[in-house]
Amino acid sequence: MWDIPLDRKSGISLQHQLYQTLKDSILSGKMAAGELLPSTRDLAAELGVSRNTVCAAYDMLWTEGFIITRQGAPSKVAEGLTLDRAVETESAEDSVPTETNIRWDFKTGQPDLSAFPWKQWNEGIRYAADSLTGEQFTYTGTKGYEPLCREIALWLKRARNLDVDKRDIYITSGSTQALFLMVQLLRREGHAFALEDPSHPGIRTVIKDQGYPLHWMPVTQQGAEIAGLRGHALSAVYVTPSHQFPLGSIMPADRRATLIRLAKEKDFYIIEDDYDSEFRYTGSPISPIRSMSASRVIYVGTFSKTLFPALRIGFVVLPKALQKQWRHSRTYLDVQNPMLEQAAMAWFLQTRKMDKHIRRMKHVYSEKRDALLAALTHVFGDTVIPQGDASGLHIALQFPGYIFGDDFMEQCKKTGIRMQPVSKYSSNGADYQDTLLLGYGHLSIAQIRDGIKALKQDIRLATIDFI
């Protein structure tokens, strides 16, 4: 009578299977309110299980209020438990399509994980596990692991010639969390956030999703155009001055100085996202804006591109006026980063393994960059204008006269190529339609060369603007 399937090979106990089946029957209405359950002896005999198994399942149902039991009377289903158990289906809008035919994935921001020194990193994890105390595995505060803050301060001096007090460094779960907290911290009623145009969609999404206004700064060969900021009430200005994303320009010193003076005059902060300037291939490293002003600049850094994205360790260098509110906000967000990875990262920096890894990867990425530029010259000649190739892990390619729309991008996917037009990063989606964005750090030289050859076939099908 009671058709209850039990899988004896399942890793789920028989008593829990029985409990779950009866619970589902009650919630779906198959077992009505007041319906009597069989005795534990009868049901055990029918199902071929021990009576203790049935008793345990009934006890779970009784404890959670699904059934009512009285001494000497049969158990029965409690009142008011039937629910509409409609099956939820994933909408097409929420589903993530799987693209299995992509052979040349020119996505940006992806380091070469095949070249990462995993053996040394695992050594750091073991060191961290052995050296941390039990107290350090409890809640340790919103600032982050102090030895890591100290090592980041020393590393910024070595790598950026940037003098930073370790007390001003706060560890984050990558730059995305840092930007989210910055928006919460800096927002002011009636004040806009100024962003570069084009810019990374992550920061604009954080701001727009929370309903705050945006002001766009056009990007030139001199970086963000800041002349138009003077007439606006601003919460903050977000810039990528050392390697503008996605076009790669560098903001010169006079424009930086003007931006700092404007920040002091108009009482706003500058958010400086220094996302990949470790890898510069020509000339000296570019100094951050923060080296010119500590009181008005929030410096944001990450290890996602120097090490690996899943690490989720970044940092901010905060002006002292913002630190109390930061600690409050972080407390009610997620408190802190995992301690084991922070300690391993501190060891990786302290032993200079980080410095060695970056030197090696700078050489690796430089070779890939040269191979990409050579392939572009060989395949496209002077019909393409590379931009922003002096540093980083991506390059912008302008094809004057071409329009790269959605049809072109779909054709590329059919060919096996994934990339983005820079228009996807512009405020109106219409500018820079003749420019493509290619990330290359994670690809082999052979993949780069073959991918550029394949791209040529698709370029022939792109729309040409004859006007």
pLDDT tens across 19-46, in order?
Answer: 999 999 999 999 999 999 999 999 999 9
pLDDT tens across 87-140, in order?
Answer: 555 555 555 555 668 999 999 989 999 999 999 999 999 999 999 998 888 888
Band of pLDDT at residue 383, cut at 50, 70 and 90: very high
Q: Cβ atoms within 10 A of the Cβ of 195, count?
A: 22
- pLDDT averaged over every residue in the chain: 91
pLDDT at 185: 93
pLDDT at 429: 87
Whether the pLDDT of residue 3 is over 80: the answer is no
Band of pLDDT at residue 301, cut at 50, 70 and 90: very high
Contact between 349 and 306 (Cβ < 8 Å): no
Whether the pLDDT of residue 369 is over 90: the answer is yes
In the block, residue with structure tokens 């899988």: 7
pLDDT at 466: 45
pTM above 0.75, yes or no: yes
For 339-343, what is the mean pLDDT? 95
Which of 143-147, 168-172, 429-433 shows the lowest mean pLDDT across its residues? Answer: 429-433
Which of 144-153, 334-343, 354-363, 439-448 shows the lowest mean pLDDT across its residues? Answer: 334-343
Radius of gyration of the chain (CA): 29
pLDDT at 134: 87
pLDDT tens across 443-454, in order?
Answer: 999 999 999 999
Q: What is the largest CA-CA distance in the chain?
A: 93
